[in-house]
Structure 1
Amino acid sequence: MERPAAAGPATGTKHLDIFVDEKEPRNGIEALLKELRPFWQPTEVKLKTFTDGITNKLVGCHVDEAMEDVVLVRIYGHMTELFVDRSNEVECFQVLHAHRCAPDLYCTFQNGICYKFISGTILNMWMLREPSIFRLVAKEMAHFHSVQTDNCYPTEPILWKTLSKYLTLLNTSLPMPTSHVRVVSSAMAGSWICRHCHRFGRWCLISSMEIDDLPTLDILVSEIEVLKEHLSQVKSPVVLCHNDLLCKNIIYIETQGLVKFIDYEYSGYNYQAFDIGNHFNEFAGVSELDFSMYPPKEMQVEWLTSYLRAYKECTGCEPVVTDLEALKLYVQVNKFALASHFSWGLWAVLQARYSTIEFDFLRYARERFKQYFKKKDETLALQLPP
């Protein structure tokens, strides 16, 4: 199970050839800690499972009651390698750590990573709305977006590549798991015709589950074309983005008066306005979506003004923000918030197909697509200020 440590997927990262069983993680975690914390006695190690993740399993490991030294073990979710570039995640982690945006990355292992625990308060939907907090979030996002990577990454936005990958996975012919099989009569035993893509003798994900109120594959393809044509003209800068800034990925460190972002598996170069719009969508929560919590215009403008001021400081410009600049970013952000709904809707359908985590991904997909179509016409009609 274990071999000597070697260089990991990214230069300078220790890699341990250890597999951790997400259902029975103790043995695998002890093998990891033998390398990372050799002075810890296995019988004294305490494990704390964090249950709010919907992509991976996260376990905190410590021996002292004060939890002054905690190793976080993140076990990748089942089949998430299909839509998460794990090598890119590690590279982003290293770059962000070098710019004081990420904690220490201890190692990678066969199906996960280990890193330093950041002590603080995980934000909730109500804390996101507090001006004293959201100004800190805006400032940290500006810091994140200003990180320069010395040409280590392409500067093309990953949004369109991501949506294309999701669509390809949705339309790929793969063996159906028995838990998702739906019996459909046909002229040939064991064969059937997909009522969405009209293909005989194969299946597409959209039709393999009871999701009649989700868009068909043709509609999904058409909507991506509409989004790409419209948003490509919005001219949002391409920066290093987090791309998944929901509540649980923001840690408030009250004693230092700052926040830090965690979990970088979806990080990469993307549109500045997408990252902010995606964050605003997360004001609605995850388990029980409430889009009435989406920040109103006045709150957004205040948030965006704080962001622009900090971003200008981080990039060496005079930190003076005009009303016109804030209004322009407001329009850009709300347009890209549409793309956020669409992207996570596709992602949730894929997760429903592959994930072993207990979460109603199909309901989540329905809600994101519903909000997308509800806001589409109104949002696309927004005009950028001259």
Structure 2
Amino acid sequence: MAAEGTAVAGGGAVGDRLAKDSLRQFQCPDAAPNRRRGSSLSRDAERRAYQCCREYLGGAWRQARPEDLRVDPVSGGLSNLLFRCSLPDHLPSVGKEPREVLLRLYGAILQGVDSLVLESVMFAILAERSLGPQLYGVFPEGRLEQYIPSRPLKTCELREPVLSAEIATKMARFHGMEMPFTKEPHWLFGTMERKLLDSTPSPVVFCHNDVQEGNILLLSEPENTDRLMLVDFEYSSYNYRGFDIGNHFCEWVYDYTHEEWPFYKAQPADYPTRGQQLHFIRHYLAEGKKGDTVSQEEQRKLEEDLLVEANRYALASHFFWGLWSILQASMSTIEFGYLEYAQSRFQFYFQQKGQLSGFHPSS
């Protein structure tokens, strides 16, 4: 689920009044943001965007006039507003300042100050490791990021074997990182049945927690053999490995580009088959155990165990995003069928729950 920058993810409280007031100054007062048609900025908001770019980027951005700056809406997630800010062609660069950036404005459900600080640190570390875009500026109501020529994957592309294998490899690399954050998996405890977590062993690793097609960019100009880049790390934290994989499998079902109400389309039959899951899992395990050799019997056991783990934690994905969507329905101004989506996730939860043998959580 495309869900950037919410209090649920980071564990912080709903944003304070200063952050909300700053956001109101950015948003167009007569148009509710819509992720399908893009978001619009008022003239005052365009001036504010200019001020942010001028202050944080320097160089040619300080020489540009407000009317020179080009600000284009970018179709974003379900809780953030995204805008591409560009310098005019006639204005030469002064130094190494970027020519264009992505301006991200946090949505109606905001994180607390502590969560925003942690997210900024995380974003910077991932950028240094070439696992995410560069970070150019951070302020209470949003941030400035590297604009990367690319497009997000389509839901149907998640099932393409070559792309699925690369996503699995990216996820394995992500899980292999050591990050300076709490290693306790607190992320699910407040929302998921504890019996699931107790009955299904899963290693605690650094997880993205939202590997869906909108958060996977297909690069227009890849610098190496990697064609994909994971983005939107608002939910990233130490969590159970099974959640990240199971959540990704759930996202095969949902297309968030549907043009009519409720602005998503669910195809439960598109949940990956056993063969498709094994394809993903084998590439995931191959990346994680480079240099290690295991017997065929051990390999089969690793694969079967991870299949069970991922599908049980897929239940946690449905439960979590169902609750998240109910919360968004009461606060978000983005046009989306949040309550319908919550109902879909809970229906899928009970459907999958009944299909999993050997797992009987408390009701």
Counterpart CA distance in 2 for 1:244 and 1:320 is 33
- State the match for 1:37 in structure 2: 57
**Equivalent residues in 2 for 1:127-206 (5 A)?**
127-149=157-179, 152-163=180-191
269, 272, 287: which one aligns with 1:292 = 269
- 1:301 equivalent in structure 2: 278
Residue from 259, 269, 274 that aligns with 2:238: 269
1:336, 1:260 → 2: CA distance? 24
Identify unmatched segments of 5+ residues in structure 2. 1-20, 29-41, 90-97, 257-263
Structure 2 vs 1, CA of residues 303 and 64 (structure 1 numbering), >3 Å: closer, same or farther?
A: farther
Q: How many residues align?
A: 300
Q: Secondary structure at the match of 1:126?
A: helix
SS in 1 for 2:200: coil
Aligned mates of 2:348, 2:114 — CA distance in 1: 25
Select the residue among 56, 59, 63 that pairs with 2:83. Answer: 59
Q: What is the TM-score with the length of structure 2 in the denominator?
A: 0.76
Which amino acid letter does the alignment assign opposite residue 107 of structure 1? G
- CA RMSD, Structure 1 to Structure 2 (Å): 2.6
Q: State the partner residue of 1:204.
A: none
1:91 shift after superposition: 2.4
Instruction: Say if 1:55 and 1:18 are closer, same or farther in 2 by CA, change over 3 A.
Output: closer
State the SS of the aligned residue for 2:104. strand
Partner of 1:378 in structure 2? 355
Of 250, 253, 257 in structure 1, the residue corresponding to residue 216 of structure 2 is 250
Structure 1, unaligned runs of 5 or more: 1-16, 164-223
More divergent stretch after superposition (282-291 vs 240-249): 282-291
Letter in 1 for 2:326: V
Q: Contact 1:309–1:319 at 8 Å: present in 2 too? A: no
Q: 1 CA distance for matches of 2:357 and 2:238? A: 23
Offset at 1:140?
0.7
Q: Percent identity?
A: 32
- SS across alignment from 2:103: strand
Question: 1:34 is aligned with what amino acid?
Answer: R
* Aligned positions of 1:73-112 closer than 5 A: 73-81=103-111, 85-112=115-142
Q: Which residue of 1 aligns with 2:204?
A: 238
TM-score normalised by the chain length of structure 1: 0.72
What's the offset of the Cα at 1:162?
A: 4.8
Q: Check if 1:367 corresponds to 2:335.
A: no
Shift of 1:37: 3.4
Deviation at 1:64, TM superposition (A): 5.3
- The aligned counterpart of 2:153 is 123
Alignment-derived partner of residue 10 in structure 1: none
Query: Which amino acid in the other structure matches residue 126 of structure 2?
Result: L
Shift of 1:18: 7.0
CA distance in 1, matches of 2:293, 2:129: 21
Give the whole-Å Cα distance in 2 for the aligned partners of 1:334 and 1:123. Answer: 23
SS in 2 for 1:147: coil
1:320, 1:260 → 2: CA distance? 32
Letter in 2 for 1:268: S
Q: Deviations over 1:294-339 (max 9, x none)?
A: 11110000110001111223xx645888122111101100000000
Cα deviations across residues 37-86 of structure 1 (Å, max 9, x unaligned)? Answer: 33132322222212241011111111257xx8321111101133279932
Kept after mapping to 2: 8 A contact 1:59/1:73: yes
